[in-house]
Amino acid sequence: MISLYSDIGGSDNGGCKHLCIVTPATNGLGYRCACDIGYKLDANQRSGSRQVLDPVSENFNDAINPIVSKAARFVGLDFDYRKDFIYYSDVSLDVIYRVKRKGNGGENLLASQNEGVEGLALDWVSKNLYYIDSCKGTLNVLYTERPEDRKVLLTNLNDTECEDIDECTPPGIYSQKCTNGKGFYRCSCSEEYTLDTDKKTCKAANHSLAYLVISNRSSILTADLNQRSLERVPVLVENVVATASDMKSGTLFWSDMKVKQIVKLEKGGQPEVLVGSGLDLVEVLAYDWITGNLYWVDSRLNAMEVSRRDGSGRMVLLNKNISQPRGLSIDPFEGARWLFWTDWGENPHIERVSMSGQNGSVIIGAKIFWPNALTVDIPNKRIYFADSKLDYIDFCNYDGTGRQQVLTGSHYLLHPHSLSIFEDNVYWTDRQLNRVLSAHKFRGDNETVVSHLASEPLSIHVHHPVLQPSETNPCTSNPCAHICLLNHPTVYTCLCKPGYKQQGGKCNLEETPYLMVMKGGHIIDISLKSEEEKASRFLTPIVGVENGLQLDYDRNKECIFWVEAVTKDSENGTIYTMEFITIDIEAKQLYWSTSNEAKIMTSDVYGGNIRTILSERNNLARPQALAVYESTLFYLDSMYEKIECVDLPDGTNPQIVLDNESDLSEIPHDLPEEARGKQRTCRCTTGFKADGEKACKPYEKFAIVSQLEIMRGYSLDGAGEAMTPVAGSGHNILHIDYHYSKKFIYWVEFNPGGANGIYRSRPNGSERDSVVTDGIGSNGIRGIAMDWIANNMYFTNVFPHETFVEVSWLDGTNRMVLKSLTKDSPRELAVNPIKRYLYWLDYGQFPMLGRSFLDGTDWKPIVTSRIHNPRDLTIDVFNNDVYWVDSTLDAINKVNMKCIHLMIWNALTRVKLC
């Protein structure tokens, strides 16, 4: 420790002229003398004399006070000994300075007039300062007593001018903001961030508060960023993928796809349902922390919606030209106020739209196949996105320019599902690796496994208040009648729900006609306005409709009624059956459809004046639902997958309302067909057979056959069509199975670039649905089998270098990997739930028939010889024998429970295998 004393050694200051410094008493004195800046000790070590600035003199650094600047680039330097001035130039700021040797009395002699002073020379006699501007190539002089007196002495000292290098490009040199100057650059950070000691990296204030929020269907988890802990949020969930947070209040939002709800959990509170109806498959949420609005996309309803934080004010923003929406992220800050979303349908792309659903445009449409994940880097105004087919992470500017690849071809990136950005790192979940990972957001290096403890991680986001910086809410001082949304380029916009019109700041009821339509398992609305004026979501979608037949609406009570078919056994066909019927109250006319002759007919309400207005001559094939509005008749034709309308009363001027909708399904009815004269016969629709002369009943036994592009059912008692065919363009049906008690047909589609996954429907073609379409390997699903006792579904999921044997519930939820194999290649599966065995065929390098328990344990081959190219297998559950076909041997084989292998296509041969 050093202490300074002014009276050490007595009143004479120890004999020192300037400073007396206490020292250890090794010199016998206990102190030493020191000099002020610009002086040095004489030989007597007591007094100080003025030292001359000489480049080679001792202790030169003690002669002046250091001159320091954070972003300076000092180049030119000279000294005026008589005036005690130091002259120097700073090329980063284009300034020539002079300052006293002790650092005081500083002033600018020349500012923003030179562009690269690299040499100074002072004429101390005439008091002129000469300097060279290397960028302009000039020799200049100024009078130091009046710096404004200056002139150029020589020009053309060089043949070229200097061109500044932009050190701020490409991205990656700095974390957030970069200011480029002539000969320098400066990094800076957004509010609530601090610049690290390297002067390039931005760190969040209170960095330790950051943590990850992860969903994995069965739970919501939190994890720190340093791989030290993983905790479960104490809430009961069934199938959670989408999550979002209000990071200032600590509120958590999620969507449960099993119960079809959006739920909110306030910090210290209990879960609260925000949206409990009209949802189907919500896989992503985004929270606008400025206005408190919540956004989501529904990939089954093909819609993007918004509501207030409490679930009120629900609106549809987009439902046109949306095929398979997935990623969603927002920047609500002034100057942006954009909403970004991905679509991996037939035309994969990333789109940008204002937060009010207006001014949409595609910003990325090339080199993209399966854009699964999306997030925003708000300080840098960039979006990051991941492609789960091409396996890369890229970023670009908000307008799609400046696209750059962060990571590709990595063993850490096989099926990215969700992304999040924090500081200089990008975090993602990988469904194939079952990992949470991170890497540098610009370079893609420093790849790290953040957590391997979260099974099947899906959604991920970093929770930290700095990610939702504060800004004034323009909706606070501009209240809207229904909902206020931020907007680009205007500040905000007020929207009214469909059926209402904004007038004078209020939403007033407006008469707006629309159709209610059954589409698959949904009841939805279709606007009747022109394309420019079309609105949607007059009706909150009704989901989960099973075997829907007809619907109607009670305007007075604002109630919707619909009919669901349960059984057809009571129909006997004695009365001529109308398929669908509606009434035009004003015109007092009845309209009905018949599918036996594909007609739409009409009469007055008393049954008189019957006539046909549409038939097969009008390209009518399978008329079903009917509706009348004013002088227009609307009808659904499930054969041509369309909704069409015609003018009444004569059925002219046909126009398409909705086209190419495959989920508009038929419902089987008994169809009496008029014969010639007074005779008649009863016929049954596809999937039903005659029960006596008048009744119909469904087939109980039939074979389901896949012909790749079509799947049909054939009665085992004859040649009757026992099910509605699954047909149409785009099918490539490889594997099929049937759950008898649930009455569902399951099949596997494999179309590179098209439908890919497991699907199911009823034998009558209704309730067609996708069961497994995510997390599928590039070689597709190559085997499927139903456990009809435990109601589980087994399937093989094939990747280029790995094969998964998986199990799930019959609807595809609660999915689990039983076995992960890299050497063996199991394909076709069969289940014997009575004996609790799972069988599989492997026609890879080492063909075999294998067996395990239903939980995947005791995995072993049971037939490995005289097997070459096994293609399919089945089980005789009565005798517990396993049959398979071998396409190379043209043979049908079987093995019994005692592992006796029989080839039954010729003379029986017994071979003991186990």
C-alpha gyration radius of the chain: 40
pLDDT digits (tens, 9 = 90+) for 552-598: 776 666 777 776 765 443 333 332 455 677 888 778 888 888 766 78
DSSP one-letter string for 212-255 = EEEE-BS-EEEEETTS--EEE-S---SSEEEEEEETTTTEEEEE
Could you give the CA distance from residue 516 to residue 658 in angstroms, rounded to a whole number? 12
pLDDT in tens, 433-472: 999 999 999 999 999 999 888 888 999 999 999 999 999 9
| Region 605-631 average pLDDT | 84
Question: Residues 139-177: pLDDT tens digits?
Answer: 889 898 888 888 888 888 766 556 777 888 888 888 999
Structure token pair of residue 485:
């949304």
Residue from 358, 348, 307 nearest 325 by CA: 348
pTM of the model: 0.55
Q: How confident is the model at residue 12 (pLDDT cuts 50, 70, 90)?
A: low
Q: Where are the domains of the chain?
A: 4-62, 74-154, 165-205, 206-462, 514-670, 698-912
The CATH architecture of the domain made up of 4-62 is: Ribbon (2.10)
Task: Measure the CA–CA gap between 435 and 447, rounded to whole angstroms.
Answer: 12
Per the structure block, which two tokens stand in for 182?
Answer: 């002539």
**Distances, alpha carbon 96 to alpha carbons 357, 400, 746, 881, in Å:** 54, 43, 81, 97
Task: Provide the pLDDT confidence category of residue 407 given band limits of 50, 70 and 90.
Answer: very high
| 1.25.40.340, 2.30.130.10, 2.120.10.30, 2.40.30.260: CATH of 698-912 | 2.120.10.30
CATH (residue range 165-205): 2.10.25.10
Contacts of 147 (CB under 8 A, 6+ apart): 109, 110
Q: At residue 673, does pLDDT exceed 50?
A: no
Q: Say what the pLDDT of residue 683 is.
A: 65
Kindly report the CATH number that applies to the domain delimited by 206-462: 2.120.10.30
CATH number for region 74-154:
2.40.10.500
Rounded to 5°, the CA angle 376-379-385 comes to 20
Question: What does the pLDDT read at residue 908?
Answer: 46
CB burial of residue 355 (10 Å; 0-12, 13-18, 19+): buried
Backbone angles phi, psi at 465, to 5 degrees: -55, -25
Q: What is the mean pLDDT of residues 367-372?
A: 94
4-62 and 74-154 share one fold: no
282 pLDDT more than 90: yes
Task: State how far the Cα of 913 lies from the Cα of 903, in Å rounded to an integer.
Answer: 13
Pick the CATH number of 514-670 from 1.10.150.120, 2.40.10.500, 3.40.50.80, 2.102.10.10: 2.40.10.500
Q: What is the largest CA-CA distance in the chain?
A: 144
Q: What percent of the chain has pLDDT over 90?
A: 40
Tell me how far apart the alpha carbons of residues 125 and 106 are, in angstroms, rounded to a whole number. Answer: 21
